[in-house]
A and B are shown apart, each in its own frame.
Chain A
Amino acid sequence: MTRIDPETVRHVARLARLRLDEAEVDQLGSEMSSILDHFAALEEVDVARQEGPTPRSIDPFLRQDVESADQLTLPVESLAPDVRAGLIVVPRLDALGGKNGES
């Protein structure tokens, strides 16, 4: 029987950037343990014979990689409202010490 202890739940929650209260830690620990018990069925499939190429039914997932023009081939002037000397003009941030809205 799989047991997910509270410390593991807290560790996974940190990885997932989820703030949990203690009640949620207990509940998720118990729910995850119960769900993982059902996952034991994964062990019942003989996967030894699965080695080798991906089956046709799930391959290829990706279309052919064909080169095509994209926005980066457009002149930079067409992508921004104000360009000076080849640079895109953006508002200056207050935090950097300039006046708002002017470069």
Chain B
Amino acid sequence: MIRTIDEARSLLAGGSTGRDLLERAAARQAELESEDPALNAFLSTIEPESQLGSGQEAGPLAGVPYAVKDNICTPDLPTTCGSLILEGYRSPFSATAVARLDAAGARLFGKTNCDEFAMGSSTENSAFGPSRNPFDRDRVPGGSSGGSAAAVAAGVVPFALGSETGGSVRQPASFCGLVGLKPSYGRVSRYGLVAFASSLDQIGILTRGVRDAGQVLEIISGPDPRDATCQDRPLPRAAALDGVQLDGQVIGVPEEYLGFGLDGEVRQAFDAALGQLEQAGARIREVSLPSAPSAIPCYYVIAPAEASSNLARYDGVRYGFRDGSGAGLEDLYSRTRAGGFGAEVKRRIMLGTFALSAGYFDEYYGRALLVRQAIANDFERVFDSGVDALFTPTTPTPAFRLGEKIANPYDMYLSDVYTVSANLAGLPAVSVPIGNIGGLPVGAQFMAPRFTEETMLGLAVRLEELVGYAPPDVDGAAA
């Protein structure tokens, strides 16, 4: 196992090479896959023996292995997005975030399973079978970055990249006892992140501890000429996190976030964590975000609308799967898309196309844009009133069982009820584990003003220290 970046560094300092650490990751991965049922966290991995030499280990993450969600482009391994339509597709270029990690000396170990095109909250929508929760194999790891979460929680790699459109890093982090960081929109380049909903998508980070997430964020952040939405702001410095004190910080708790089917034990764990923050000097203030109850419908209009446009490119002409059994070009398109996309992707393409179609545009898409603005204004009003960060549960329940929600799409959508607002408003947010319920982890999240990751992660470090979270035993093979 390699649990943290520091653990990897200790091994390297003790004489291990970067290739040794890749071999260690491969051995752990093989062990997990040999169990029944398998974790199914990875869709592809590199062969450590194929890596040249023991490597010169230079850079801030020299020799540290990592994993990348399979909707982020890497030339060394396929990029399938968990979809049959891209089976076998290999990108000719690296995503900017991956290129920056490589330049920092980190070494890609593998590509992780995810819901198809990141559409889902459980990985059950992957065309290559679901990943499982390392702490209970009958349960989901969350999604859509569930493979990344399972890989880090099971100790294959110390960190993994995921992506967030509506909570796809924070929700699996909460289900797997990890830290899940969603940076501000515009903090990390989206170049090479396969587009789902471009105004919401952002690459995120899964780690065991907040400081590790801070180190990775500092490396992958910053402007990129290839992404016009990526901003030139001072980089969030990992070294600054220890300077953030709780004393005097105003933490807002939105009343609306303590409803929506919040499990009683999750509420207790959340209240206990909130009490610890207060005891340590934070000033707790009840606040209201009145538009919050409309966040899920707003998200599920805007994200499918953008997806219906972004996924128009998968038509059998340029990429992957092609069904040429019909006659003519339109038939090629519609048969390829029918055979290549899974049920949830089709459902969202249909919903999005409907919301953008003549006669319904104003009622759904136009309205949702106004509601999005109302949601963002709510946050702005609260932060302008002197609140430094908001604190809420990350998910209403711990990890649910495989198959429990898959038959009812809207039930599944409600898994994201606490997370989508930060995406709609472009805010940074981080989920931190706060306890275990019946052997399953649960998390709570901070949300903060845009581009204030340093303060937000500093608060998360303090919370982490106060809670002193210890994960449950990993199911199956000994950890």
Contact = CB atoms under 8 A, between A and B. Distances in A.
Interface of A: 4, 8-9, 11-13, 15-20, 24, 28, 31-32, 34-35, 38-47, 49-50, 54-58, 60-65, 68
A20 B353 contact: no
B350 A13 contact: yes
Interface of B: 185-186, 199, 223, 225, 228-232, 291, 293-294, 296-298, 300-301, 308, 312, 315, 330-331, 333-335, 337-338, 341, 346-347, 349-351, 353-354, 357, 364, 367-368, 370-374, 376-377, 379-380, 383, 409-410, 413, 425-427, 449-450
B354 A12 contact: yes
A42 B351 contact: no
A68 B449 CA distance: 31
A83 to B, nearest CB: 22
A10 to B, nearest CB: 11
A24 B205 CA distance: 37
A44 B293 contact: yes
A63 B337 contact: no
A62 B297 CA distance: 26
B377 A50 contact: yes
Given A32-B350, A62-B229, 9 more contacts: A17-B330, A34-B410, A39-B300, A40-B297, A42-B368, A43-B367, A54-B373, A58-B373, A63-B232
Contacts of B341: 18
Nearest to B424: A58
B230 A63 contact: yes
Contacts of A55: 373, 376-377, 380, 425
B199 A61 contact: yes
B349 A18 contact: yes
A16 B349 contact: yes
Given A16-B349, A17-B334, A18-B349, A57 B228 contact: no
B186 to A, nearest CB: 7
Contact of B346 (A28, A61, A63, A65): A28
10 contacts: A13-B334, A16-B353, A19-B331, A38-B296, A39-B300, A45-B374, A54-B373, A57-B379, A63-B186, A64-B232
Contacts of A38: 296-297, 300, 410
A45 B371 contact: yes
Given A16-B353, A17-B333, A57 B231 contact: no
B380 A46 contact: no
Contacts of B232: 63-64
A97 to B, nearest CB: 23
Nearest to A34: B410
Contacts of B337: 16-19
B231 A63 contact: yes
Interface centre among B293, B351, B413, B425, by most A CB within 10 Å?
A: B351
Contacts of B334: 13, 17-19
Contacts of B333: 17
Contacts of B368: 42
A12 B370 contact: no
B228 A62 contact: yes
A94 B370 CA distance: 54
A58 B451 CA distance: 11
Nearest to B341: A18
A61 B185 contact: yes
Contacts of B335: 19
Contacts of B410: 34-35, 38
Contacts of A39: 297, 300-301, 364
Contact of B315 (A17, A34, A50): A17
